[in-house]
């Protein structure tokens, strides 16, 4: 797999306001690396989503409790079901262990004269391909800064409706005085391409102040 096929987003765009609203909605924001089958792909054969981005996950899910220096790998098997691999992934001791392990692997590669002494096992490449991010379908959290005037939500909803995108819930919290207020939308399943296209149009509305914030929602269904 070409690393350029992996869609990567960091946490720089996540704010304390997003964490607050996510908590009110019953979610926690975590940075996830996701590898899973994309059943919505239009390509023939298997299509695999491979991506990294901040994600809203339910507070009730086991990954929501992975904090501080700990990392976790959540795996779903067709027979074994769901399993979790959990341990320290940051902090001085865990980081030092990982660095020394990498140095030992590099030394063995030099000794054996190879750069792929232990090749990764990626059987999906034999029968399928990595999905384009545009094809990935999921739910979304959207935070907008909008003018506090009648008809604002209707204009935004009309653009989403034109893209066949549904709104599952809306929050416009009180106590935010000024020319603009936050507007939080939870969006039903939609393709990434349709969602980004709709947000580009919404961002051009005169009632929308600033760049929209979009985070994906994972329910592990």
* Residue range 98-124, pLDDT digits in tens: 899 889 988 888 888 876 666 655 555
Alpha-carbon distance of 28 to 25, in angstroms, equals 9
**Cβ count within 10 A of residue 32:** 15
pLDDT at site 126: 63
The token pair at 27 is 């979610």
pLDDT mean over 151-158: 95
Q: What are phi and psi of 204, to 5 degrees?
A: -85, -10
SS3 34: strand
pLDDT for 176: 64
Answer whether 138's CB lies under 8 Å from 221's CB.
no
CATH superfamily of 133-217: ACT domain (3.30.70.260)
- pTM of the entire predicted model: 0.85
Distance CA(199)–CA(211), nearest Å, equals 9
Q: Where are the beta strands (DSSP E) in the chain?
A: 7-8, 27-37, 46-58, 70-77, 81-88, 128-130, 137-147, 167-171, 180-191, 213-217
Homologous superfamily of the 3-90+121-130 domain (CATH): Dihydrodipicolinate Reductase; domain 2 (3.30.360.10)
- Of 45, 64, 89, 15, the residue nearest 220 (C-alpha): 64
pLDDT in tens, 60-88: 999 999 999 899 999 999 899 999 999 98
Domain spans of the chain, in order of start:
3-90+121-130, 133-217
């Amino acid at each position: 797999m070409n690393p350029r096929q992996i869609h990567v987003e960091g946490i720089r765009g996540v704010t304390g306001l997003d964490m607050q609203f996510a908590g009110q909605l019953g979610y926690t924001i975590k940075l996830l690396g996701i590898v899973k089958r994309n059943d919505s792909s239009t390509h023939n054969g298997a299509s695999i989503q491979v991506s990294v981005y901040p994600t809203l996950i339910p507070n009730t899910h086991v990954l929501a409790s992975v904090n501080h220096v700990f990392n976790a790998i959540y795996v779903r098997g067709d027979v074994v079901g769901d399993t979790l691999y959990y341990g320290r992934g940051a902090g001085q001791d865990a980081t030092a262990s990982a660095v020394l392990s990498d140095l030992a692997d590099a030394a063995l590669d030099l000794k054996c004269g190879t750069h792929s002494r232990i090749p990764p096992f990626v059987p999906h490449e034999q029968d399928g391909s990595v999905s384009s991010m545009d094809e990935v379908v999921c739910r979304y959290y959207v935070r907008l800064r909008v003018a506090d005037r009648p008809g604002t939500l209707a204009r935004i909803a009309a653009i989403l409706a034109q893209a066949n995108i549904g709104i599952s819930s809306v929050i416009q919290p009180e106590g935010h005085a000024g020319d603009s207020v936050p507007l939080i939308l939870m969006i039903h399943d939609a393709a990434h391409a349709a969602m980004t296209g709709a947000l580009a149009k919404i961002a051009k509305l005169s009632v929308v102040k600033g760049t929209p914030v979009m985070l994906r929602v994972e329910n592990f269904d």
